[in-house]
Amino acid sequence: MQDFLLRERQGVISERLRLNGRVLATELALEFGVSEDTVRRDLREMAAAGLCERVYGGALPISPAHGSLTQRIGFAADRKQALARAAATQIAAGSTVFFDAGSTNLAIANALPAELALTAATNAPAIAAALIDKPAVNVILIGGMVDRQTGGSLGAKALRDMEQISPDLCILGACGVDLEAGITVFGFEDAEFKRFATSRSKRVLVAATSEKFGTAAPHSILPVAHCECLVVEHDADPAILARYRERGCRTVLAEKTN
């Protein structure tokens, strides 16, 4: 009977996540007539099974940003290109920019105008290859062991290389973006490198497809208040964007795709 009730509660929690985008332990405890400890235990079990991501006070849907870089490049390519064109307008001539690994960030590198002069650093060989074709861009490649999942160099060598750079702008890759959970990613080493890269940078920009908003991954990078600019899709909810702006994030809308 207890196992049945557990499965029943978890089924309701999954449905609430699908419909509402988040759940709160206090509300679920009242609804189920159980203690908050019981609900938190349910959420821990669901998180361990990859069904949700635990956050303070409740849970969020798991970020959809799974798969290798090669797999992610093919997902929503036209929407990422629209984000890339909008993000490219935020890059100042003559600046030093760090391009974090990621499929959307690769699209941004490809979208840079050929005449835009800047110094670009990246830990992603694919992004470095795209930037090499830009005659006005000086390219610095962050070295180390390349992680196949992220497509970027991580670990001690990458951190040492990053220590030598003080970017004007960090174009940060993200798996999940949420007002409370902040900017999150799946990999522990990836998170460590991203945190250090943002700490070295004057400004942080995140460009993300709509699926990533209101979701979370296990490892936190920074609060949304520390992200100076969010580049979002053309149909992003204005009310939600207003809440990001209240936290100090400037929002830039991409153009509608065909």
Q: pLDDT tens-digit profile of 153-197? A: 999 999 999 999 999 999 999 999 999 899 999 899 999 999 999
pTM over 0.95: no
Rounded Cα–Cα distance for residues 52 and 60 (Å): 6
> Looking at the predicted structure, is the pLDDT value of residue 3 above 70?
no
Give me the architecture of the 6-60 domain, per CATH.
Answer: Orthogonal Bundle (1.10)
pLDDT at 75: 66
Q: Looking at per-residue confidence, does 197 or 215 come out higher?
A: 197
Q: Is the pLDDT of residue 249 over 50?
A: yes
The CATH fold assigned to 69-253 is Rossmann fold (3.40.50)
Q: Do residues 43 and 13 touch, judged by C-beta distance below 8 A?
A: yes
Give the C-alpha separation, 19 to 189, whole Å: 32
More confidently predicted of 152 and 21: 152
Distance of CA 94 to the CA centre of its chain: 26
Instruction: Please give the structure tokens belonging to residue 5.
Output: 């009730």
The pLDDT value recorded for residue 2 is: 45
Strand order, beta sheet including 137-141: 137-141, 118-122, 96-99, 169-171, 203-207, 229-232, 250-253
pLDDT in tens, 122-154: 999 999 999 998 999 999 999 999 998 899 999
**What is the domain partition of the chain in residue ranges?**
6-60, 69-253
Q: How far apart are CA 179 and CA 163, in angstroms?
A: 29
Report whether 165 contacts 144 (CB < 8 A): no
User: How is residue 115 annotated by DSSP?
Assistant: T
Mean pLDDT (whole number) for 30-53 = 83
**b/e 76-87 (16+ beta carbons within 10 angstroms → b):** beebbbbbbbbb
Instruction: Give the model's pLDDT for residue 65.
Output: 66
Query: Average of pLDDT values for 230-236?
Result: 94
Q: Supply 175's token pair.
A: 């798996």
Q: Cα–Cα distances in Å, from 120 out to 102, 138, 161, 220, 242?
A: 15, 6, 14, 25, 31
Query: Which residue has better confidence, 54 or 118?
Result: 118
Burial group, residue 213, by CB count within 10 angstroms (0-12, 13-18, 19+): buried
The owner of tokens 């001539």 is: 93
Average confidence (pLDDT) over 77-94? 94
**Which tokens is 243 given?**
């809440």
